[in-house]
Amino acid sequence: MKKRIFSIFLLLALCLGMAVPAFAADSGEETGGFADAYHRLQDQAAVITEEEDSEIQQLLDQDSTELKFDLCIVIVESLEGRTARDYADDWYNSCQYGYGSDKDGALLLISTEDRDWAVSTHGYGITAFTDEGIQYLGEQMKGDLSAGNYTESFRTFARLGSSYVTQAREGNPFDKSDIPRKPLSAVWFLVSVAIGFVTALLIVGSMKQQLKTVRAQAAAGSYVREGSMIVTESKDLFLYHKIERTEKAKNNGSESSTHTSSSGTIHGGGGGKF
């Protein structure tokens, strides 16, 4: 009888042990640094296919796990009269996105009806996603968003978002100097050459007009007035030289602007139209 009672208590203990982890996961408690309460891609407007949803979801999960930094995307139809920035902040907070105690991460919000995009950052995301970086991200996504090619714009967000985090952790957050320069058109090259040629021609022509009274001389002595200068001794003396060196300022990246969300938490971010 005692053995039977002991077996029942042992079975109950095992059941309770299995129930605790399950309850923790369901309640949104952090597992491995992430809350994992919601998917990192939420297509509320149904703008992508199931295959595309699965691809982007896997991409975001992989990058977020490797970086220990949450990269999330939410697509909605309407902002319901609110600003895209506030809407993105509230989504981030309510879904408990972010890694670790500081909730490091960045969320991209797309509104298909309002034609708005916004990025909400939190924790280390405020450092990694600078104002310059967010605007550059928007420029890279704008063409695909305007054309309705949402999947490609999401790939761009994941790619640039990952590079921003990596670059910031190396001590050089994205700044103006990191923006690739657009190549100049061949037309501008030809115009520059033509302007330079005409300018040089005018300058040389003007100088030539001023030298009409000058005649070539066989020796330099003709330029010296007789008896005006007697050189008895000449030598060159090197006295000293001085070199000043100034250390070049290190590029620590531009600052990110911040604001307080409706829940009282500090967020960074930016956005625009498409």
Share of the chain above pLDDT 90, in %: 58
Q: Nearest-5° angle of CA 13, CA 15, CA 19?
A: 115
Model pTM above 0.85: no
Residue 138 CB-density burial (10 A; 0-12 exposed, 13-18 middle, 19+ buried): buried
Residue 131 lies in a domain: yes
Residue 126 lies in a domain: yes
Residue 20 has pLDDT above 90, yes or no: no
Res. 186 pLDDT band, cuts 50 70 90: low
Residue 63 lies in a domain: yes
Query: Residue 80: what pLDDT?
Result: 93
pLDDT-wise least confident of 64-68, 160-164, 197-201, 223-227: 223-227
Query: Residue 215: what pLDDT?
Result: 64
Query: Residue 254: what pLDDT?
Result: 59
Res. 155 pLDDT band, cuts 50 70 90: very high
Residue 53 lies in a domain: yes
Res. 18 pLDDT band, cuts 50 70 90: very low
Check residue 269 and give left, alpha or beta (phi > 0: left; psi -120 to 50: alpha): left
Nearest to 150 by CA among 213, 30, 244, 56: 56
What are the residues whose beta carbons fall under 8 Å from the beta carbon of 90, sequence distance 6 or more? 261, 262, 263
Residue 192 lies in a domain: no
User: Regarding predicted confidence, which is higher, 197 or 130?
Assistant: 130
Number of domains in the chain: 1
Tell me if residue 174 falls in helix, strand or coil: coil
Determine the average pLDDT of the residues in 149-172. 97
Residue 25 has pLDDT above 50, yes or no: no
Q: What is the CATH number of the domain that holds 67?
A: 3.10.310.50
Structural domain boundaries enclosing 134: 24-180+254-273
Q: Say if CB 269 and CB 120 are below 8 A apart.
A: yes
Q: Say if CB 8 and CB 18 are below 8 A apart.
A: no
Residue 225 lies in a domain: no
Residue 216 lies in a domain: no
Q: How far apart are CA 71 and CA 121, in angstroms?
A: 10
The crossing angle, in degrees rounded to 10, of helices 131-146 and 150-169 is: 160
Nearest to 103 by CA among 46, 16, 33, 183: 33
Q: Say if CB 111 and CB 76 are below 8 A apart.
A: yes
User: Regarding predicted confidence, which is higher, 110 or 30?
Assistant: 110
Residue 168 CB-density burial (10 A; 0-12 exposed, 13-18 middle, 19+ buried): buried
* Tokens standing for residue 138: 């928007």
